[in-house]
Structure 1
Amino acid sequence: MDYQQLLTDVKQYVLKYFEGHHDPDLLYHDMEHTKGVVASATQIANHYQLNDEDFFVVVTAAWFHDIGYLIDKADHEAAGAELAGAHLKQLKVAEALIAKVKECILATRIPKNLPGSCSKLCAMPTFFT
């Protein structure tokens, strides 16, 4: 699986989605915030030398973690996870991998509910708030 190409596709999709669904009420959870979270997630993933699949999961979750604010501010994590799942399915990503990405996005909920080890990285409050 070409994770780098998938990450490029994810990035393009999310940036285009933000551009097409601009919400002036989002003063913090916007495209710039998302780019910062992706940079931080990438830094953390590199520090922990995640394998290619886990790196893909963490960085993809970072791209989608707050996009749900454009759909449902009250349950933005679930909305972002569903949007990620739908997009990844279009990219023909395996269901098991989609489930990991969605789990990672949902792990950013407050209070924290951390079922998997990869989710612990996604739920670090310094980077995913």
Structure 2
Amino acid sequence: MRSIIEELTKGNADIVGYFVACRERWDGILKNAHSVSVEELAERLSKEQFYFENICGNDRALGKVIMPWSGFATLYSCQVGYRFDDGPLAYKLSQAFAASTCSGEVKFEAKKAADVYFVSDFA
């Protein structure tokens, strides 16, 4: 995440575009996610990692960071926190990342993002 912030401070507008595109992808991934099991959501995530890497300018390392951070950011608002039942969904998302076949880097970033977004409050 530090490298992303550094790029933003340098004015790298591509980073903003990557997050916007990733958020749009998350809207599809999380559609009806309240009603699926952790295992099914983990399977969805496993199939999506390469998409995130591609959308981030084919920068695999960057995609592995942005994937989980943009997922949790999709569910959280700095103004209101979690809306409706998005808190429990964020917890489910953290469990799904852990159970997925995503890379170790994605899982590591997902754990850090889950901590920043207070996901454990919904355990």
Scaled to the shorter chain, the TM-score interval is 0.3 to 0.5
- TM-score scaled by length of structure 2: 0.35
Pick the structure with more helix per residue: 2
> Which structure's relative contact order is higher, taking Cα pairs within 8 Å and 6+ residues apart?
2
